[in-house]
A = this chain, B = another copy of it.
C-alpha cells in the first residue's frame, strides 16, 4: 500500500512541475521564503493550536504509516485460519485451539481467541472486543483528522499570503507596470504553496490514512464475527459463509472442499 503513496506524490509532482517547465516557467520563481513562511509555518501553527500536543507529536508516525501501509493482517489469510479453528473447536473443543491462538500474530485476533479459550462469557467477550475496535477506530480517525485540518488551513493561508503580498505591492503602486507584475507574481506563489501543499500532500495522506484504517477495521470486524461464531459453536460452513462476505468476489475461499457433506452439516 505504501508504494502507491510514494508513486502518487511523485506523479503529481512531475505533472505539476513538469507542466510548469514546459510552459517556460523558471523554477526559481516558485521559491519564495516569505510565502513559504506564511503558508507552511502558518499552517503548522494553526494545526498545532487545533490539536492536543500528543496529536501533533504523532504526525511523523502517521506520515510513515501512510508511506509504508498498515501492518494489519490480510483478510484473505485470516479467513481460512478462522474456519479451520471453527472446525477444530467443533471436533475437539475450544481448549484445543490454545496452541494455534498463541501463534496468531494479529494482536486483536490473539486477544479475542485467548479470552474465548479462557472461557470468557460470550457477552463479555463481545463487549471487550467491540470496545477495543471502537476505541482503536476513534484513535485512528483522530490521527488522520489532523492532516485534513492542515489541508483546510493551507489553501486559506495561501490566499492570506497572496492578499498580504498584494497589500505590499499595491501600497507602493507607481507607474512601473513591470514591477507591479513581478510583485503580483510573487504574491501568487503563496497561493501556489497553499493549494499545492493541501492537494498533493496533506489531503491525499489524510485519505490514505483513512483507507488503511478502513482495511484494518474490516479485518477486525471479520475477526470479531469469526471469534463469536466459533465460540457459539457454529457449523464451520456457516462460519465460512459469514467470512466470505468480507472478501472481495475475486478473492473468495474455494467452494469445493466441503461441498459434499455441507448441505447436511449446515442444518445443525
Contacts and interface: CB of A to CB of B under 8 A. Distances in A.
B9 A115 contact: no
A30 B40 CA distance: 20
B166 A173 contact: no
Q: How many copies does the complex hold?
A: 5
A13 interface: yes
Contacts of A199: 42, 46, 153, 156-157, 160
Interface residues of A, number: 128
A255 B50 CA distance: 35
A120 B240 CA distance: 13
B195 A139 contact: no
A261 to B, nearest CB: 11
Interface string A121-137: 10010011001111110
A6 to B, nearest CB: 8
A242 to B, nearest CB: 5
Given A10-B45, A45-B10, A51-B211, A159 B18 contact: no
Main secondary structure of the interface of A (DSSP, over half): helix
A53 to B, nearest CB: 4
Contacts of A169: 181, 185
A215 interface: yes
A44 interface: yes
A119 B263 contact: yes
A49 B198 CA distance: 12
A18 B37 contact: yes
B167 A173 contact: no
A53 B1 contact: yes
Interface of A: 1, 3-5, 7-16, 18-20, 22-26, 29-30, 33-38, 40-42, 44-53, 55-56, 69, 111, 115, 117-121, 124, 127-128, 131-136, 138-139, 142, 149, 153, 155-157, 159-161, 163-175, 177-178, 180-182, 184-186, 188-189, 191-192, 195-196, 198-200, 203-208, 211-212, 214-215, 218, 225, 234, 238, 241-242, 244-246, 248, 262-264, 266-267
12 contacts: A11-B44, A15-B41, A15-B42, A16-B38, A16-B41, A19-B34, A49-B200, A52-B208, A118-B263, A128-B245, A173-B185, A175-B177
